[in-house]
Amino acid sequence: MDINFQNILVVTSVVLAVIYLFKKFSPKKSTGNCSKKDCGCS
Amino acid sequence: MPKLSDLKKGEQAKIVDVSSQEIPIKLLEMGCLPGNKVRLIQQAPFKGPIYIEINGSYVAIRKETARLIEIELN
Amino acid sequence: MSKQIKVALIGNPNTGKTSIFNSLTGLNQKIANYPGVTVEKKEGVCKLSRGVKAHIFDLPGTYSLNASSMDENLVVELLLNKNHKDFPDLAIIVSDVENLKRNLILFTQVKDLEIPTVLAINMSDRMKYKGIELDIEKLEKKLDTKIILTTNRTKDWVGEVKNLIENYKDLSSKIFLDTSIIEPEYFNKLKNIFPNQQLYKLWVVICQDVNFSNVSRQEIENSDFEIKSTSELKRLQQKETIKRYQLINNILKEGQTIDSSKAQGFRAKIDKVLTHKFFGYVIFLMILMAIFQTIYEWASIPMDFIDSSFASLADWVKINLPSGAMTNLLADGIITGIGGIVIFIPQIAFLFMFISILEESGYMSRVVFLTDKTMQKFGLSGKSVVPLISGVACAIPAIMATRNIESWKERLITILVTPFMTCAARLPVYLIIIALVIPDEKIFGLNYQAIALMSLYLIGFITALLSSLILTKILKIKRRSIFVMEMPNYKFPRIKDVFYTVFEKSKSFVVEAGKIILAISVILWVLATNGIGDKFENPRNYISENIEEISIEEIQTLEASIKLENSFIGFIGKSIEPVFKPLGYDWKIGIGIITSFAAREVFVGTLAVIYNIDNYDDSEGKKEEIKNIMARETDANGNKIFTLASGISLLLFYAFAMQCMSTLAIVRKETNSWKWPILQFIIMTALAYFISLISFQILS
């Protein structure tokens, strides 16, 4: 591929896109609470 | 002793006892406490929930819960 | 940096808390995650004088600190944790003037946590009409707080509130009720074991599943202090509630007079009709039908406008920017991909608008009341109706809205079946495929295409009900029949509040989906325009027809399609084609399905990008409508790709498949386990595959 300004932009955007999707869908730690039962002590 | 579930549409009664452990605290916080007046506004069809007024609060509860609340008819 | 004051807005549900929040912050709001009606914490900024800013947190509505559902727990957790970054400097308790007695329970509890507290008595403009009179000075003294009368009608009170926020250090933080009065023996013992802790905090921690920094629940359990049995605790909670009620009663006897002769007639009259044994249901159905009708009627005008604007934008970019790879990416990849989703904003906005009006007006509670018994037969709760209806907009806020369902079994089933409801993201896919394969003709005055769309919504709803029926039978969880729901007053929804909701929801819907679509479009475009091998480099040599006999345009089209088939995306698509072949899809649709596992609406953008590449612009350089390109698509033998059989198979696939990462993430969060989202994903997708397979094999 020739190295010109537009190609550099394209490559940059692809890299950004991949990083974004990767970050978005990698499992995160979450803080859940009161699940397996009814909440509270009622 | 009559229960809240026996109340007919439009009738009013006084709550006497709510000590059953099965009654959610939330209902008590809504004002469902001994001595307060309760009135049945609407009964959903097919033995569905009842829509009542207690102490200025408007609440819907299921029949199962209403069966645990003792009342005194006026 | 100047100090920022943190303010928590706390109050019972239906007290107009959100209106106060909107009045204080305007559009300076930020909502964590997808917005439901205050299911997540909302944050906004309110400017005070001298450059000081207040951060206002609108917390989920709660009746007390004895949390009985998950969103209530959120409030308790924040208020107990002094080290939490959002721990408030002061709390504004919003209460409804008509229900002061009940609202004050929460007020006294927050006060007992030693948080400086202001009492906002909302809807004060209704006082006269309801025959209520308040002695504010007396109440302020007795409750040891500052009271502000607020209303939606005017904004005079805003300055007063800002003033109190600014001088929050002058507010009293003395407790209201000495906790040990509830049962001296028990609480004195507790006090002796944890002498440095605040008694009421300890009590709240003991009562529920929350930890706070200084003392964790574990610590209490490990100490030699004996925690009572659940029923004992409950008895104490009852005692606490009664005690608070007594104290509040005494105060209100002095500070409030109610002339009950001015009681409500309006509410009773409307309730008589809307909760009627027969007419209640008829009205509900009519409202639903009217909503769907209006959405399709009203949305078409802005949609046409958006469609043409994006087409001209792409043309403009091509003509006016220097030619090169980036310009092509912009026009064919990004603008086309984004345009595919932006066009559905009007419909989504209308959908959100109607749902928010239904909720704000107080009507939703009546529907819950009417449907509870029927929903119970399917293993759901009447409260599941709200998530199911909002699931028609988006499953994410819908699943968050299940938090007020008290029974865990009913709540879990609601979470699991809600994604079957036809969400707004399926709409773009449905519309484009229906337009392609279902004839635009009428039978008995009904349009076939409209019937197809209606059927898809029905299929979603029926599948949701049937699956809950099955789930109730197989899930081995004990069901407890708890159900307490306030029936709020009817309110005319404030236009401003509805506008904020629609704006916020549409924005987050489009921005969230838009970012994913943007990223995927970029990657797809690059994969589709690059490749290796001689077939990709010199496609002309591989044209099977005699080049001498066909026109230049035809040569170009053939070249482009050979190039695409041998690009990276073509390579990936071809290798997964065997999986989708039995369903009647070619490799391009296969790519569309794979990418839409990120979010369903990506499908349209993906096809737009792929089809755009192997189709040459016509001589004027104008873009052709994507629909026409798709209609022309044929396989190697010249048979059409989009036929009735493959179209219906594709529609059914989208109706059943679990193609939304964000929904899975929220299910994971709400059920606190990977088990449910994984099961949901596998079962729904397998179901989609087999139903599509069967329907294609029968129809073709």
pLDDT confidence of residue C359: 80
**Nearest one of B22, B21, A37, B68 to C208, comparing CA atoms:** A37
- If pLDDT is split at 50, 70 and 90, which confidence band does C597 have? confident
Residue C326 has pLDDT above 80, yes or no: yes
The Cα of C260 is separated from the nearest Cα of chain A by a number of Å equal to 33
Q: Does C672 touch chain A (CB under 8 A)?
A: yes
Enumerate the residues of chain A whose CB falls inside 8 A of the CB of residue C670: 32, 35
Q: Which residues of B lie inside 8 Å of C (Cβ-Cβ)? A: 18-19, 21, 24-31, 33, 41-42, 44-49, 51, 55-62, 64-65
Q: Does A39 touch chain B (CB under 8 A)?
A: no
- If pLDDT is split at 50, 70 and 90, which confidence band does C615 have? low
- If pLDDT is split at 50, 70 and 90, which confidence band does C209 have? low
Enumerate the residues of chain C whose CB falls inside 8 A of the CB of residue A10: 325-326, 329, 526
Q: Does C228 touch chain A (CB under 8 A)?
A: no
pLDDT tens per residue, range C216-226: 566 666 666 66
Q: Does C560 touch chain A (CB under 8 A)?
A: no
Q: Does A40 touch chain B (CB under 8 A)?
A: yes
- If pLDDT is split at 50, 70 and 90, which confidence band does C561 have? confident
Q: Does C73 touch chain A (CB under 8 A)?
A: yes
Enumerate the residues of chain B whose CB falls inside 8 A of the CB of residue C63: 26, 29-30
Residue ranges of C 68-87 with Cβ closer than 8 A to chain B: 68
Percent of chain C at pLDDT exceeding 90: 12
- If pLDDT is split at 50, 70 and 90, which confidence band does C261 have? low
- If pLDDT is split at 50, 70 and 90, which confidence band does C34 have? very low
Picking from C230, C234, C669, the nearest residue to A32 by CB comes out as: C669
Three-state secondary structure call for residue C8: strand
Enumerate the residues of chain C whose CB falls inside 8 A of the CB of residue B40: none
pLDDT confidence of residue C471: 93
Q: What's the ipTM?
A: 0.94
The Cα of C404 is separated from the nearest Cα of chain B by a number of Å equal to 12
Enumerate the residues of chain C whose CB falls inside 8 A of the CB of residue B30: 63, 102, 484, 486
pLDDT tens per residue, range C67-116: 666 667 778 888 887 777 788 889 999 988 888 888 888 899 888 888 88
Q: Which of C482, C486, C490 to mutate to test the interface with B (most CBs of B within 10 A)?
A: C482
List domains and CATH numbers for chain C.
4-170 (3.40.50.300), 179-262 (no CATH), 295-474 (no CATH), 512-699 (no CATH)
CATH homologous superfamily, domain B4-73: Ferrous iron transport protein A (FeoA) (2.30.30.90)
pLDDT confidence of residue B60: 93
pLDDT tens per residue, range C622-678: 556 667 777 777 777 778 888 889 999 999 999 999 988 778 877 887 787 889 999
What are the tokens at C419? 């994604």
Query: Cα–Cα distance between C498 and C18 in angstroms, integer?
Result: 11
Residue C459 has pLDDT above 90, yes or no: yes
Residue ranges of C 302-341 with Cβ closer than 8 A to chain B: none
In contact, C675 and C412? CB cutoff 8 Å: no
Q: Does C197 touch chain B (CB under 8 A)?
A: no
pLDDT confidence of residue C222: 61
In contact, C617 and C623? CB cutoff 8 Å: yes
pLDDT confidence of residue C678: 92
CB contact under 8 A, C98 and B56: yes
Q: Which residues of B5-44 are buried (b: 16+ CB within 10 A; e: fewer)?
A: bebeeeeebebeebeeeebbbbbbbbbbbbebebebbbbb
Highest mean pLDDT among A11-15, C19-23, C264-268, C688-692: C688-692
Task: Tell me which DSSP letter residue B73 carries.
Answer: E
- If pLDDT is split at 50, 70 and 90, which confidence band does C215 have? low
Interior CA angle at C170 toward C167 and C171, to 5°?
A: 100
Domain ranges for chain B: 4-73
Closest Cα in chain B to C480? B22
Three-state secondary structure call for residue C472: helix
Q: Going by C-beta distance under 8 Å and a sequence separation of 6 or more, which residues neighbour residue C686?
A: none
pLDDT tens per residue, range C289-310: 887 677 666 776 787 788 788 8
pLDDT confidence of residue C616: 55
Lowest mean pLDDT among C337-346, C397-406, C442-451: C337-346
CB contact under 8 A, C484 and B65: yes
Enumerate the residues of chain B whose CB falls inside 8 A of the CB of residue A40: 25
Q: Which of C485, C486, C491 to mutate to test the interface with B (most CBs of B within 10 A)?
A: C485
Residue C415 has pLDDT above 90, yes or no: yes
pLDDT confidence of residue C505: 73
Residue C36 has pLDDT above 50, yes or no: no
Q: Does C284 touch chain B (CB under 8 A)?
A: no
pLDDT tens per residue, range C506-516: 777 677 767 87
pLDDT confidence of residue B49: 93
CB contact under 8 A, C70 and A34: yes
pLDDT tens per residue, range B3-54: 888 988 888 899 988 877 778 878 888 888 888 889 999 999 888 999 999 8
CB contact under 8 A, C408 and A38: yes
End-to-end CA distance of chain A: 68
Of C50 and C362, which is predicted with more confidence? C362
